[in-house]
Amino acid sequence: MNRFLWPLVGFAVLVVLLAVGLSLDPRDVPSPLVGKPAPTFSLPQVAAPERNFSPKDMLGKVWLLNVWSTWCVSCRQEHPVLVEMAKTKTVTLVGLNYKEVRGDGELDADKIAPDAERKLALERSNAWLDKHGNPYLLSVLDLDGRVGIDYGVYGVPETYIIDKAGVIRMKHTGPISPDAFSGKILPLVTELSK
Amino acid sequence: MKVWLTALLLALAAFSLQAGEAAPLAADEAAEKRLVDISSELRCLVCQNESLSGSHAELANDLRREIRTLIKDGKSDSEIMDFMVSRYGDFVRYRPPLKLTTLLLWFGPVLLLVGGLGALVLYLRRRNQAIVDTPLSTDEQGRADRLLNVKDQEQ
B37 and B109 belong to one structural domain: no
Across chain A, mean pLDDT equals 92
What is the tally of structural domains in chain B? 2
Q: Tell me the pLDDT tens digit for each residue of A179-189.
A: 999 999 999 99
B34-73 core/surface letters (b: 16 or more CB in 10 A; e: else): bbeebbebbbbbbeeeebbbebeeebbebbbebbbebbee
Dist. CA A148–CA A36, nearest whole Å = 16
Measure the CA–CA gap between B115 and B120, rounded to whole angstroms.
9
- Domain identity same for B84 and B115: no
Report the residue from B46, B62, B88 with minimal CB separation from A152: B88
- What pTM was estimated for this model as a whole? 0.76
Each residue of A102-161: pLDDT tens digit? 888 888 877 888 889 999 999 999 999 999 999 999 999 999 999 999 999 988 899 999
Task: Give the Å distances, CA to CA, from A113 to A49, B20, B65.
Answer: 18, 26, 19
Interacting residues of B53 by C-beta distance below 8 A, sequence separation 6+: B35, B36, B39, B40, B42, B64
pLDDT, residue B8, reads 60
Q: Is A109 on the interface with B (CB under 8 A)?
A: no
Question: Angle, to 10 degrees, between the axis of helix B2-27 and the axis of helix B29-39?
Answer: 50
Question: Residue B68 is part of a domain; what is its CATH number?
Answer: 1.10.8.640
**Which residues in chain B are closer than 8 Å to A155, comparing Cβ atoms?**
45-46
Q: Provide ipTM, 2 decimals.
A: 0.80
Q: Between residues 67 and 96 of chain B, which touch chain A (CB distance below 8 Å)? A: 85-91
Q: Which of B48, B62, B91 to mutate to test the interface with A (most CBs of A within 10 A)?
A: B62
Q: What is the pLDDT of residues B104-138, one digit of tens each?
A: 889 999 999 999 999 999 999 998 888 877 888 88
Length of chain B: 155
Distance CA A122, CA A97 (A): 10
Contact: B45, A154; criterion CB under 8 Å: yes
Going along chain A from its start, the domains and CATH numbers come out as 33-193 (3.40.30.10)
Please indicate if any CB of chain A lies within 8 Å of the CB of B46. yes
- Same domain membership, residue B103 and residue B76: no
* pLDDT, mean of residues A52-78: 94
Distance CA B114, CA B125 (A): 16
User: Do residue B131 and residue B153 come from a single domain?
Assistant: yes
- Does B57 lie at the interface with A, CB-CB under 8 angstroms? no
Dump pLDDT digits (tens) for B17-60: 444 444 445 457 888 888 999 999 998 888 888 888 888 888 89
Select from B46, B62, B91 the Cβ nearest to the Cβ of A149: B62
Per the structure, the complete domain to which residue B65 belongs is given by: 1-97
